[in-house]
Amino acid sequence: MKIIDKKLRAGIIRFPGSNCDYDALNFFKKYGHESRFIWYKETQMPPEINILVLPGGFAFGDRYYEKATGEYTINPGELAVKSPVMEIVFAAASKKIPILGICNGFQILVKSGLLPGKLARNDSGKFFCDNIACEVLGDSFFKDKEILGKIFNIPVAHGYGKYIASEPEIFSLETRGHIFLKYKGINPNGSVKNIAGISNEEGNIFGMMPHPERSPDGKYFIKAMEKYVFG
């Protein structure tokens, strides 16, 4: 654990089924930072927050209901996008506050249109969980050039992680350096170009399927966020 003067104050958006909520909360605390939950019904951004995190899990059980009492279809992130807390997320996005979406959080960011493309069912048709080698590239994670080219072992755990987008979109992401993470060796879901994580045009919103909060290399990701927030 290192002592730092400037603390990240992470707001962890908590949906009822966000089961990586505590993992994300503890991830920041473990490295001496502060973190707190923001419940999905809240609409006011707590003023101290300097980074927002949408954690992994099954926000609403991956379900989408047309009406409250009806049948549901499986559609990860779709219901979350309609929840009140998205006001906070959109406000943060326009104020250029950094946002990190992990796994289900990435799915929600994509569904909300804050990140391009889609996350589809894994090619295997099954949930997949294991440690997967991932390479940092493009403009890097929160633009931290120090970790560029590094390969980390990061756990993945998802059923809908296959990143797809139109050819021009992929071309644009690639050439502008917005693909910051790719699977190396094993592609666990059939993602186009082994894409594991992407960022937005402005470079303040990052979405990734692998779980940095579970990785033994988590400190590199924390450090990148520190540098981004405090320069």
Partner 1 sequence: MSLDNPIAAALAEAMASEHTSYKSTKKFLSKLPVKGKYVIQGPGENAGILDLGGGWALAIRIESHNHPSFIKPYHGAATGVGGILRDIFTMGARPIGLFDFLRFGNDKNSKSLIKEVVRGIADYGNCVGVPVLGGDVYFDDTYSHNCLVNVAAIGLVKKKNIIYGNAFTPGNDLIYVGAKTGRDGIGGAQMASKNLDSLEESAIQIADPFLEKLLLEACCELSETNWTEGMQDMGAAGLLCSTSEVVIRGRKKSHLNLGAEVYLNKVPVKSPDMSPVEMLLSESQERMLIVGKKEHRENILNLFKHWDLEACVIGKVTDDGKYAVVYDDEKNTNISLKMEFKDIFPDIFENWELKKWEPQKNLYNKAERADLRKIWHQYDWMVGARTIKGPNRPGHYAILNAPEIEKEIIIAWSSDEGRCNQSPSEGMDYAFEKCLSRFKMLGAEPLGITNCLNFGHPRDSMGAFSEAIGALSNKCQSYKIPIVGGNVSLYNACGGHSIKPTPILVMAGVRKK
Q: Mind telling me the catalytic residues?
A: 103, 211, 213
Single residue of 61, 135, 164, 184 touching partner 1 by CB under 8 A: 61
Single residue of 4, 44, 82, 130 touching partner 1 by CB under 8 A: 130
Q: What are phi and psi of 215, to 5 degrees?
A: -85, 145
Single residue of 37, 64, 128, 220 touching partner 1 by CB under 8 A: 128
Nearest to 61 by CA among 70, 72, 46, 50: 72
Q: Which is nearer to partner 1, 60 or 165 (CB)?
A: 60
Q: Which residues contact 46 (CB under 8 A, 6 or more apart)?
A: 11, 36, 38
Single residue of 33, 49, 52, 57 touching partner 1 by CB under 8 A: 57
SS3 for 164? strand
73 binds partner 1 (CB under 8 A): no
33 binds partner 1 (CB under 8 A): no
The structure tokens listed for 11 are 């707001």
Distance, in Å, from the CA atom of 195 to the CA atom of 208, rounded to the nearest integer, reads 9
DSSP 147: G
Let me know how long the chain is. 231
The structure tokens listed for 152 are 């980390």
226 binds partner 1 (CB under 8 A): no
Smallest distance, partner 1 to C-beta of residue 17, A: 5
Q: Which is nearer to partner 1, 22 or 174 (CB)?
A: 22
Chain residues binding partner 1 by CB under 8 A are: 16-17, 19-20, 22-23, 26-27, 56-58, 60-63, 126-131, 155, 157, 159, 211, 213-214
